[in-house]
Amino acid sequence: MPKYIFVTGGVVSSVGKGTVAASVGKILSVRGLRVGFVKIDPYVNVDAGTLNPFSHGEVFVTDDGGETDLDLGWYERFLDIKTSRQNNITTGQVYAEVIARERRGDYLGQCVQIVPHVTDEIKARLRAAAKGLDVLIVEVGGTVGDIEGQPFLEAIRQMRLEEGVENTLFIHVALVLTLKATGEFKTKALQHSVNALRALGIQPDIIVARCETPIDTEARRKIALFGTLTEKAVFSSHDVPYIYKVPAILEEQGMGDFVVERLGLNTGRPDWSGWRRVMEMYENAKETVRIAVCGKYTKLADSYVSVKEALQHAGVNIGARVVIDWVNTEEFESGVRNVLELGGYDGVLVPGGFGRRGTEGMIQCIKFCRENNIPFLGICFGLQLSVVEFARHVCGLEGANSTELNPETPHPVIDLMPEQKKVRELGGTMRLGAETVRIVEGTLAHRLYGETEILQRHRHRYEVSRQYWDILQRKGLVFSGFSPDGKRVEIVENPSNTFFLATQYHPEYLSRPSRPEPAYLGFVTAAYNRRRLAAEATTPLKM
Ligand code: GLN
């Protein structure tokens, strides 16, 4: 029978519940347990696909085409597993199901209520996700006290009764403030959040204090006392130089033994050897590589968290730390910044995106990289804009564009995929999830992947228009990856440059710290090489 660990958060949102959940998962999985996750997002959206990445961060795409919360990305990167849409539950999904059932007549004669109908649906989904696992870790998004979160907290409260105390464990993660002047830890807000949780009928078994520096014995004692816990059940999740260190700091404080004992789990001895290698790579990465990520949602680094991680995975695997500058390309358009400054970077990445804002600036960046042989990686939107740039400036197709950005363009080099033309609703209707990509032998892509068939995750509506394939290829753009039917361009590259590659898929979702994704690894390696050669470069930059 699976055991359940529920992770709640207090005091502030984004307190690091996802990292703690993933770390506890790691701690259990190195002991040989089968661990899975569910992220609960209490918002009413059915999935993350329609949320604004500015405020909610990246949409993480799963193999089965789920548009999910970015925490699923952390679970995948920490445990090297694959999640699915089943691993992300929202209020929208739960209510849609309950209401559909009510309309079908499944509850005939009953008054449909949050308790029991909504909470039953939540519990059923959690139990379905726990099938075949030793432990399911359920992370409840938001902060204790949020109105939206209440049905979920009520459902997990009931699960303790139904599954048994010995099979359920509650971890509460809350912020502990430090007063800079005195270095004193302030635990009052945390205490209040524990009280809020108790008011809902949940007594935590473990409290994780999220703080800047390790909490001292006094703070630990206070948290234990007011949380009604032993001091052994209080853990400190303090700032670390890189996120993959968090499992180690929790393990050092005895998290693994505590959880295993409390849940009566049968486990082997922990084997940290693989993870230790990851940590060593992060600790030993001495050189730096500077990458400019040129996009629109660059204000919140979480908007591109998988991109950021994929770059870093690639970096540490070649002994370098990647320093990322997030560049808002609207600033190139308005003249606040000049693309010439990209010459100071070792590589430029144009990530995925939607809508017109900032796109002319992105096209300027791509032109600059192409003309000055700066290592370039384009992702999805980045591929589409690379094709637009090439069409305009190499093929002489003036005004070429994507119909997403200018429906009236004389040269729609990027256009809606045929099956998208009849789509009216925007939620969950893109080309989503894992699809096979065939790689053309003898290309850069083939050298990178060393395979002719790969599986990659997608999230797009537009593609390279067939009618322009001929001219683009004649002028030197190489299509090095296709869909299996040969009808869809998946990878483009420019062999005139040392490294100029763009993918219609999102390779970052598959990157792992111990296994960097080949496109990212190739890109960061090219950037690293450029840095080393930079001293010798004398050719002036072209505009
Ligand atoms: N907006 C583009 C499309 O829908 C690119 C999407 C993306 O970058 N994920 O095809």
Q: Over 170-200, what HEC string results? A: EEEEEECEEECCCCEEECHHHHHHHHHHHHC
Query: What pLDDT score does 533 carry?
Result: 86
Q: Which amino acid is at 86?
A: Q
SS3 of residue 486 by DSSP? coil
How many other CB atoms are found less than 10 A from the CB of residue 416? 19
Å from CA of 383 to ligand 1 middle = 9
pLDDT at 245 over 90: yes
Ligand 1 touching residue 304 (CB < 6 A)? no
Mean pLDDT of 468-483: 98
Nearest-angstrom CA–CA distance, 156 and 173: 16
Record the tokens describing residue 273, joined without a space: 């050897």
380 is catalytic: yes
| Sign of the dihedral defined by the CA atoms of residues 482, 402, 53, 67, in that order | negative
Query: What pLDDT score does 49 carry?
Result: 84
Query: What pLDDT score does 180 carry?
Result: 83
For ligand 1, atom 9, which residue shows the shortest CA distance? 352
Laid out side by side, the sheet with 88-90 consists of 88-90, 35-41, 135-140, 3-10, 168-175, 206-211, 234-238
- Which atom of ligand 1 approaches the CA of 351 most closely? 8
Å from CA of 358 to ligand 1 middle = 14
Query: What pLDDT score does 485 carry?
Result: 96
**C-alpha 522: how far from chain center:** 21
Å from CA of 379 to ligand 1 middle = 9
> 399 with 409: CB under 8 angstroms?
yes
Please choose, from the candidates 174, 199, 189, the residue with its C-alpha nearest in 3D space to the C-alpha of residue 8. Answer: 174
Tell me which DSSP letter residue 398 carries.
Answer: T
**C-alpha 338: how far from chain center:** 30
Q: Give the chain's mean pLDDT.
A: 94
508 is catalytic: yes
Tell me which DSSP letter residue 117 carries.
Answer: I
Å from CA of 384 to ligand 1 middle = 8
pLDDT tens string 15-62: 789 999 999 999 999 999 999 999 999 999 988 888 877 677 889 999
Ligand 1 touching residue 31 (CB < 6 A)? no
pLDDT at 512 over 90: yes
pLDDT tens string 270-324: 999 999 999 999 999 999 999 999 998 666 678 899 999 999 999 999 999 999 9
Mean pLDDT of 495-514: 98
Ligand 1 touching residue 388 (CB < 6 A)? no
Query: What pLDDT score does 21 carry?
Result: 97
- Which atom of ligand 1 approaches the CA of 430 most closely? 4
Query: What pLDDT score does 300 carry?
Result: 65
Ligand 1 touching residue 488 (CB < 6 A)? no
Ligand 1 touching residue 459 (CB < 6 A)? yes
Ligand 1 touching residue 458 (CB < 6 A)? no
pLDDT tens string 149-188: 999 999 999 999 999 999 999 999 999 998 888 888 999 8
Å from CA of 381 to ligand 1 middle = 5
Nearest-angstrom CA–CA distance, 273 and 282: 15
How many other CB atoms are found less than 10 A from the CB of residue 539? 7
Tell me which DSSP letter residue 84 carries.
Answer: -
Query: What pLDDT score does 542 carry?
Result: 57
Ligand 1 pocket: which of 61, 354, 456 to mutate (most atoms within 8 A of CB): 354
> 41 with 146: CB under 8 angstroms?
no
- Which atom of ligand 1 approaches the CA of 379 most closely? 8
Ligand 1 touching residue 352 (CB < 6 A)? yes
Nearest-angstrom CA–CA distance, 71 and 302: 11
Mean pLDDT of 346-358: 95
Please choose, from the candidates 405, 413, 456, 458, the residue with its C-alpha nearest in 3D space to the C-alpha of residue 432. Answer: 458
| Sign of the dihedral defined by the CA atoms of residues 126, 130, 134, 136, in that order | negative
Mean pLDDT of 246-263: 97
211, 395, 506, 517: the active-site residue: 506
Ligand 1 touching residue 404 (CB < 6 A)? yes
Query: What pLDDT score does 57 carry?
Result: 82
> 397 with 406: CB under 8 angstroms?
no
| Sign of the dihedral defined by the CA atoms of residues 211, 245, 293, 49, in that order | negative
Ligand 1 touching residue 460 (CB < 6 A)? yes
- Which atom of ligand 1 approaches the CA of 459 most closely? 9
139, 380, 404, 435: the active-site residue: 380
Ligand 1 touching residue 77 (CB < 6 A)? no
Query: What pLDDT score does 491 carry?
Result: 98
Band (519; pLDDT cuts 50, 70, 90): very high
How many other CB atoms are found less than 10 A from the CB of residue 418? 10
What domains sit in the chain, N to C, each tagged with a CATH number?
Answer: 3-46+88-264 (3.40.50.300), 287-535 (3.40.50.880)
> 44 with 91: CB under 8 angstroms?
yes
Numbers of helices and strands, H then E, in the chain: 18, 23
Å from CA of 25 to ligand 1 middle = 33
> 205 with 233: CB under 8 angstroms?
yes
> 308 with 349: CB under 8 angstroms?
no
Å from CA of 380 to ligand 1 middle = 6
Mean pLDDT of 209-230: 94
Per cent of the chain over pLDDT 70 is 97
Tracing tokens 């260190």 back to the chain, one arrives at: 245
Nearest-angstrom CA–CA distance, 284 and 324: 18
Band (539; pLDDT cuts 50, 70, 90): low
Å from CA of 203 to ligand 1 middle = 45
Nearest-angstrom CA–CA distance, 375 and 369: 7
- Which atom of ligand 1 approaches the CA of 463 most closely? 10
Per cent of the chain over pLDDT 90 is 87
Residues in contact with 311: Cβ distance below 8 Å, sequence separation at least 6, in sequence order: 291, 293, 322, 324, 349, 520, 524
Ligand 1 pocket: which of 51, 379, 406, 461 to mutate (most atoms within 8 A of CB): 461
Q: How far is CA 476 from CA 161, 385, 445, in A?
A: 66, 16, 16
Query: What pLDDT score does 472 carry?
Result: 98
For ligand 1, atom 8, which residue shows the shortest CA distance? 352
Å from CA of 67 to ligand 1 middle = 13
458 is catalytic: no
Record the tokens describing residue 191, joined without a space: 């205490």
Å from CA of 505 to ligand 1 middle = 9
Ligand 1 touching residue 380 (CB < 6 A)? yes
pLDDT at 428 over 90: no
Please choose, from the candidates 441, 454, 468, 466, the residue with its C-alpha nearest in 3D space to the C-alpha of residue 506. Answer: 454
Burial of 148 (0-12, 13-18, 19+ CB in 10 A): middle
pLDDT tens string 92-113: 999 999 999 999 999 999 999 9
